[in-house]
Amino acid sequence: MTRARGTREHIPTPIMATYYAQRASAGLIISEAIGISREGLGWPYATGLWLPEQIAGWRRVTDAVHGAGGRIIAQLWHMGRVVHPNFLAGAEPVSASVTTAPGHAHTYGGRQPYTAARALRLDEIPSLLADFGRAARNAMEAGFDGVQLHASNGYLIDQFLRDSSNFRDDAYGGPISHRIRLLREVTQAVADAIGADRTGVRLSPNGETQGVRDSDPLPLFIAAAEALSAIGIAHLELREPPLDGTFGVGYLDPLAAQLRPAFKGPLILNSDFDAQRAQAALNADIGDVVAFGRPFISNPDFPRRLAEGLPLTPGDRETWFTQSPDGYIDYPLAEPPLHMHRT
CA 256 – CA 95 distance, rounded (Å): 27
Query: What percent of the chain stands above pLDDT 70?
Result: 97
How far is CA 226 from each of CA 6, 51, 52, 260, 298, rounded to the nearest angstrom? 36, 34, 36, 10, 36
In a domain, 74, yes or no: yes
> From CA 171, how far away is CA 156, in angstroms rounded?
16
Q: What's the pLDDT at 337?
A: 65
pLDDT of 245 reads: 75
In a domain, 171, yes or no: yes
pLDDT digits (tens, 9 = 90+) for 302-340: 999 999 999 999 999 999 999 999 999 999 999 876 555
- In this predicted model, what pLDDT tens digit does every residue of 163-199 receive, in sequence order? 999 999 999 999 999 999 999 999 999 999 999 999 9
Overall domain count for the chain: 1
Question: Does any domain span residue 210?
Answer: yes
The residue among 120, 131, 132, 104 whose CA lies nearest residue 42 is: 104
Pairing of strands 104-107, 235-239: unpaired
- Please identify every stretch of the chain with a pLDDT value under 70, giving residue numbers as ranges: 248-249, 337-343
pLDDT of residue 165: 98
Of 114, 155, 172, 328, the catalytic one is 155
Q: What is the CATH number of the domain that holds 268?
A: 3.20.20.70
Does the annotation count 331 as an active-site position? no
**CB neighbour list of residue 63: distance below 8 Å, 6 or more residues apart:** 17, 143
Cα separation, 327 vs 325, in Å, equals 6
- Cα of first residue to Cα of last residue in the chain, in angstroms, is 40
The pLDDT of residue 339: 54
Residue 142 lies in a domain: yes
pTM of the model: 0.96
In a domain, 341, yes or no: no
Residue 336 counted as domain residue: no
8 Å CB contact between 106 and 181: no
Please report the pLDDT score of residue 340 as a whole number: 54
Helices (H) and strands (E) in the chain, counts: 11, 11
Quote the CA–CA distance of 253 and 244 in Å, as a whole number.
10
Full DSSP string of 269-301: EESS--HHHHHHHHHTTS-SEEE--HHHHH-TT
Q: How far apart are CA 287 and CA 284, in angstroms?
A: 8
The verdict on residue 9 lying in a domain is no
State which residues form the domain around 288.
14-331
Is the distance from CB of 157 to CB of 199 less than 8 angstroms? Answer: no
84 within a domain of the structure (yes/no): yes
* Mean predicted lDDT score pLDDT of the chain: 95
